[in-house]
Amino acid sequence: MNGRAEPHASLDPRLQWRAAGTADMDGWAALIARTAAVERPVWYERRADLEQVLESKKNPAAADTILGFDAQGVARAYGRITKNPEGDKAIGYGGVDPGWQGNGIGTGLLGWMEARTRQRFAEDAVPGATPRLRLHMEQQHTHQAALFADAGYRIVRYYNEMHRPLQDGLPAVVLDEGLDLVGFGPELHEPVRLAHNDAFRDHWGSEPRDEEAWGFVVSDPLARPDLSAVIVEQSTGRVAGYQLASHDTVSAEVRGYKEGYTDLLGVRREFRGRGVAQALLADAMRRFAAAGMDTASLDVDSENPTGALALYAKMGYAAVNSSMAWDKEL
């Protein structure tokens, strides 16, 4: 591919296809917004998120994105993949304008993603790795489920979106002896990255976050460091656990309530069993409530090995929505 996205035989010839560029940001974001207005996902990418896509060096947009335009130059479909160079999978993202769905365009985009995934695995040359593409979808999007199943994908994991009303009383923040709870600032960006990679090394599907990937986390347009916190060990300053939060004002208008969302919650193995996660969640609820939020929310792997699902239920969270991960070995 010579480092640039190229049309693939599977792509619909009614659209003109090319890699995404800076000049396409508004049209790309408008396409995603039109689709979201009909499909009503919990969250969707906006212009600022797409700008981050273009900044990636590991997943250059010139090779790992594709946009389809109609005769008037309006973006009607898109696809992209991401992959860590040492990773065992690529992750695919895509969408088709609601007015253009049902015409095989989505199937064609899957074909492009699969072809690009094979190329990425060949480029990265990870010994013994079998090319694998992973797709995510929310349970209510049955048209996506049909598309994925027809293309040979299978469900490999379920996730639960969980909510906890903040009007029902808030738990106390109880810290074990020798631990301190502190705010999340720039000086903790790197220590928390290292703690995250350590905490999630036993989680299914998780891969280490390098500096670029972590930079996108801490500079996410929706990130709220003021609603986030870190627990450190007093004697060493070592990060024991962390809770990184965000707030989406657009989602609040659409869904009718203000939501403090825990993007990442992790506890290092040697600190588990000391109430670190409970203290971080209790602190998060209090921060969310003080900021005028109605609900605390998060997502959890239904088979999380740390027993997180039971912990969240004990703290008053309840499942409100499900999503799935689908895999296909290429």
Residue-wise pLDDT tens digits, 266-291: 999 999 999 999 999 999 999 999 99
Indicate the DSSP class of residue 98: G
Residue labelled with tokens 């060096």: 57
* Residue 251 confidence (pLDDT): 86
**Could you tell me what percent of the chain has a pLDDT over 90?**
89
Q: Is the pLDDT of residue 240 over 90?
A: yes
CA distance 109 to 296: 35
Q: Is 228 helix (H, G, I), strand (E, B) or coil?
A: coil
CB 63 within 8 A of CB 19: yes
* Residue 24 confidence (pLDDT): 98
Q: Is the pLDDT of residue 305 over 90?
A: no
Domains, the chain, in order of start with CATH, read 16-152 (3.40.630.30), 160-321 (3.40.630.30)
Quote the tokens at residue 328: 């296909």
H-assigned helices in 79-178: 105-124, 142-150
* Residue 242 confidence (pLDDT): 98
| Digit-coded pLDDT (tens) for 59-92 | 999 999 999 999 999 999 999 999 999 999 999 9
Q: What is the mean pLDDT of the chain?
A: 95
Q: Is the pLDDT of residue 1 over 60?
A: no
Indicate the DSSP class of residue 55: H
CA distance 12 to 10: 6
CA distance 129 to 11: 27
> Confidence band (pLDDT; 50, 70, 90) for 234?
very high
| Digit-coded pLDDT (tens) for 142-187 | 999 999 999 999 999 999 999 999 998 999 999 999 999 999 999 9
